[in-house]
Chains A and B, each alone.
Chain A
Amino acid sequence: MIEIKNITKKFPSVTALDNISLKINDKEFFGLLGPNGAGKSTLMNLLIGYLDADEGEITIDNEKVKRDNLLVRTKIGLVPQSIALYDDLSAFENLEIFGSFYGIKKRLLRAVIAENLNRVQLYDRRKDKVKNFSGGMKRRLNIAASLLHDPKLLLCDEPTVGVDPQSRNAIFDYLIQLNEEGKTIVYTTHYMEEAERLCSRIAIIDFGKIIAEGTLEKLLEKLPYEQTIIINKNHSTADKIELFKSFGNLLNEQEKYELKPFDHLKLSDFFRSMEENDISYQSIDLHKPTLEALFLHLTGRRLRD
């Protein structure tokens, strides 16, 4: 189990983490959701012992994580945000190098590398230089490099940045499979869709503070409404902005309005009003609210602002 107790980390110009506490259970797929600069990567760097906290303590299975505690790192596999590979070396050579840091014997290491390359569908390309790989292939190899020592805990720091949807899905499937096999996964992202799809529990972080934490359902219960109203833009909705605003907080997007209804709004009242204003039902959809809506509700800002 990972225990993060009252962690504070300050840099000269900013407090990156401000008295954060979290508990992550074994075999959990834990999401850390927040906008860029929220403190996610700093927390990752503290979890691998790359940085030391100014205050507080992190333990993994009751063992303190610190810069000078190298042993605890054998339990951790890091998938960095950047593609941390040597471009001019082959996939196999890269894995050989990173595996050697864990003292795995050569013969065993070769077998482990082959297995991991197979799992990310790169075995056939093992002799190719990484610089000739596509973005998705590099991302998959980036993950394989962090699994050679069979870590109990996998830390994924935005591992799908810049990846096409197909490769992203492949990565998701692989991570879900790893979690099902028993690995604890901590996954940072600023894509709420990723957190919603992958994570059994999510912490939302903003300006170095945890502003909400729980399962997706529990988090969404914090919203004062159960459904988001989507109004598709057409000639009948053209000059009805003030009307929509009278029912909730309105987001004016390119092709639609997104309405977060006020507390205790009766949907029957809303639809009656729409009918009276000649706005057809076909223009209106009801959606289950997302973490994006929760973030907006909690911070007044959109996740990707």
Chain B
Amino acid sequence: MKAVISLIKKDYKLFFHDKPAVSLTFLVPAVLIFLFGSIFGGSSSAPTGIHIAFVNNSESKVAHKLESVLDTTKAFMLIKEFTNDEGKTVKFDTNSIKDYVRKGNVSAALVIPQDAFTDTSTGLRLKFYYDPKNEIEMQTIQGLMLQTIMSQMPNIFMASMQHRAETFLGKNKGMRFNRKIASVVSEYYGVDTSKILNWTKFSFSDSLVSDSASNKNNFFKDLLDLQKTQLVGQNVNNPNATRSVGGWAMMFLLFTITASSTSLFDENKSGVVVRILSSPISRVQILWGKYLYNISLGCIQLLVLFMTGYIFFGIDIFSNFINLILIIIAAAAASTSFGMLLAAFSKTSAQANGLGTFLILTMSAIGGAWFPTFILPHFIQILSKGTIVYWSMEGFLQVLWRNANTVEILPYVGVLLGITAVVNFISILQFKKGNVF
């Protein structure tokens, strides 16, 4: 038994000296459990603060009531203004709000039109503009939006019922009917008649006086008429594949580049680096060689993966090919800088690969490769914008989903190249300390 205990002790000792193994055993699962827990359970069961562009063109009380409800609900954060081309902050109108969605600033916009609830209305009419670049996000937004609006429906329903009664019976007969009903209720329940009448009129009664001949056969439909208009991606061949290809491609790219960058350790260990440095080649040239090789490998890998998407799922990669290439180059450069950073700060190949696996899975999870970022806790959404995965995915979506032009993708290319420059600068400083060679 002592021998077995000694063997167990030996294995534990070896295990705890193997930092990558410890990290992959405890840290990686713990972080992923936290992320998945945050999404599918945990402390908050519903997403909050989803940004939605909003404009209310109606003067009706119903519209103002709905705006105030949406303003106060935790699920949404209404954006009512934007910065125009002249740099001025202005309120949305129906056209500018659509442009705002088309440009990818938000995934959805709600417009309460001028005639949302008029004297002739029997229900509420709303316009919903959306960009389903992420299907889960869109379904969630629509679900939450309907939930919020429907919570106000009893009021609208009551007013509509009253309006219907008046429509069928005529205004005077209807009013008499209401008063009769109110007096009966008052008699049996001891409530003041005027209160009952005010309640049934509710706050919208002023808009229910006119006659409406339309929609008598479709009452519930008329109660909420949400007119949905997809603004982006209508012509995308295979929406699901187009949405997801970028995220998965980025995750595998990061794994490839990390393995390739950390091969420096193996070359150093085998003595190849010393042999190379004994020839007329400098350390800087070795790093450049490795760096440019990894970028080109990354570009080839991404191209192959997108080609695979084209062949098997019909993803249209050719109609905006030049811009796709620009994003691919920027994403490959940023991923390579990440790999070089790992190599610069790690002491061994195993350490670099362990740390790399942890960071890649985390970045993929919070960057949106696995699920939309809007369902993550707010602070993780902020962190996600610091990841290569997020900006690469958004860049790919701009190109493949939104068919963005070169000017429109420049911010994404810029951020990725900015990350590349900063990370490379840090790596070079670390390489100069001579951890690798």
Contact = CB atoms under 8 A, between A and B. Distances in A.
Nearest to B434: A51
A73 B281 CA distance: 9
Nearest to B277: A50
B282 interface: yes
A275 to B, nearest CB: 56
A186 B279 CA distance: 17
A83 B279 contact: no
Contacts of B282: 67-68, 70
Contacts of A71: 280
A283 B373 CA distance: 87
B257 to A, nearest CB: 20
B319 interface: no
Nearest to B284: A68
A84 B272 contact: yes
A133 interface: no
A50 B282 CA distance: 9
B270 interface: yes
Contact of B271 (A68, A76, A80): A80
Given A98-B275, A145-B275, A84 B270 contact: yes
A134 to B, nearest CB: 17
Contacts of B276: 98, 101
Q: Is the interface of A mostly helix, strand, loop or mixed?
A: loop
B274 interface: yes
A146 to B, nearest CB: 7
Contact of B275 (A67, A146, A149): A146
A98 B279 contact: yes
A146 B271 CA distance: 13
Interface string B261-298: 00000000111101111111111000000000000000
Contact of A50 (B269, B270, B272, B278): B278
B280 A102 contact: yes
B280 A78 contact: no
Contacts of A146: 275, 278
Interface of B: 269-272, 274-283
Task: Give 4 closest A-B pairs by Cβ, nearest first.
Answer: A84-B271, A82-B271, A78-B278, A101-B279
Interface of A: 45, 48-50, 67-68, 70-71, 73-74, 76-78, 80-86, 98, 101-103, 145-146, 149, 155
Given A76-B278, A77-B278, A84-B275, 4 more contacts: A71-B280, A73-B280, A84-B270, A101-B280
25 contacts: A45-B274, A48-B278, A49-B277, A50-B274, A50-B278, A70-B281, A73-B280, A77-B278, A78-B275, A80-B274, A80-B275, A82-B269, A83-B270, A84-B270, A84-B271, A84-B272, A85-B272, A98-B275, A98-B279, A101-B276, A101-B280, A102-B279, A102-B280, A146-B275, A146-B278
